[in-house]
């Protein structure tokens, strides 16, 4: 077989064949009387093996190790390390694709039901809709809408764990906790627009009530890092809570809940 015929049979190009020659992966056969290289079936098998290993992600250095009849200890160790790394990479890609498949499946279900397409779990959306239908004033509706928008932003842009959304859905669905939540958002709304120096008592009261509500059931440690209390799910606190008085209430709540209050950024 000539170079072009070998390349075609292996599903590659003559340029790739010459590249493997330069790397020492594929020996150059002697030229025939007419000046052309004459490749054998053995050469084709080796070339296809090179291609098979490379297409599975093995670095060409490790391909050389695989094709060497007598492998050194170091070469064998490097080969095993490369294979472990490739398998780990595949597992990460599989996990990402599985998560994407689950999200697309949920979106398809919503589309089939002519429902709003959202990153939030269906039970949390239903709970917010129920709360909104029971809202007693525009301020409460605004607070609920803002809370839902924040949760959706966190769901899309951060690594906030699923337990947080599950907790919200359960809290909004249960009659007793829904009453407590309505009381909290009412106090929260009253803080908006106030100066911190004028609202110290209200901030402390709102923070104490919120901390008491969260302490027993909220997956606190999974949502906040003790070393970095100025972020929520990867977003800066000032991005999540732009109002200064409300933000101070959040910081005060985190201070109450934290086992290391000195780590809370104020």
What pLDDT, in 10s, does the model give residues 161-200? 777 888 888 888 888 888 888 888 888 888 888 999 999 9
Q: How far apart are the first and last CA of the chain?
A: 75
pLDDT digits (tens, 9 = 90+) for 1-20: 899 999 999 999 999 999 99
What does the pLDDT read at residue 139?
A: 78
Q: Is 166 within 8 Å of 155 (Cβ atoms)?
A: no
User: What is the C-alpha separation between 20 and 18, in angstroms, rounded?
Assistant: 5
d(CA 120, CA 123): 8
Q: Per residue in 245-256, pLDDT tens?
A: 988 988 888 888
For the chain, where are the E strands, in sequence order?
231-232, 235-236
The pLDDT of residue 232 is above 80: no
pTM of the model as a whole: 0.56
**pLDDT, tens digit, 9 for 90 and up, residues 145-164:** 888 888 888 788 766 677 78
Using the predicted structure, report yes or no on whether residue 24 has a pLDDT greater than 60.
Answer: yes
Residue 241 φ/ψ region, left for φ over 0, alpha for ψ in the -120 to 50 degree band, beta for the rest: beta
């Amino acid at each position: 077989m000539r170079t072009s015929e070998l390349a075609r049979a292996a599903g590659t190009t003559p340029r790739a064949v010459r590249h493997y020659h330069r790397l020492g992966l594929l020996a150059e056969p002697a030229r025939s009387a007419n000046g052309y290289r004459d490749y054998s079936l053995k050469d084709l098998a080796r070339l296809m093996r090179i291609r098979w290993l490379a297409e599975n992600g093995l670095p060409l250095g490790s391909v050389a190790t695989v094709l060497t009849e007598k492998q050194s200890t170091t070469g064998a160790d490097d080969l095993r390390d490369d294979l472990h790394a490739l398998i780990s990479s595949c597992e990460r890609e599989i996990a990402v694709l599985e998560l994407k498949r689950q999200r697309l499946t949920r979106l398809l279900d919503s589309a089939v039901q002519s429902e709003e397409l959202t990153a939030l779990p269906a039970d949390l959306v239903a709970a917010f809709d129920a709360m909104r239908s029971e809202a007693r004033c525009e301020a409460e509706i605004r607070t609920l809408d803002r809370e839902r928008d924040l949760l959706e932003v966190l769901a899309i842009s951060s690594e906030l764990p699923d337990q947080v959304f599950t907790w919200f859905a359960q809290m909004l669905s249960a009659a007793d906790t829904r009453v407590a939540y309505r009381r909290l958002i009412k106090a929260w709304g009253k803080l908006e627009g106030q100066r911190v120096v004028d609202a110290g008592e209200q901030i402390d009261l709102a923070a104490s009530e919120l901390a008491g509500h969260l302490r027993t059931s909220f997956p606190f440690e999974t949502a906040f890092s003790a070393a970095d209390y100025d972020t929520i799910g990867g977003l800066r606190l000032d991005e999540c809570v732009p109002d200064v008085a409300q933000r101070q209430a959040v910081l005060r709540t985190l201070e109450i809940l934290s086992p290391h209050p000195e780590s809370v950024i104020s």
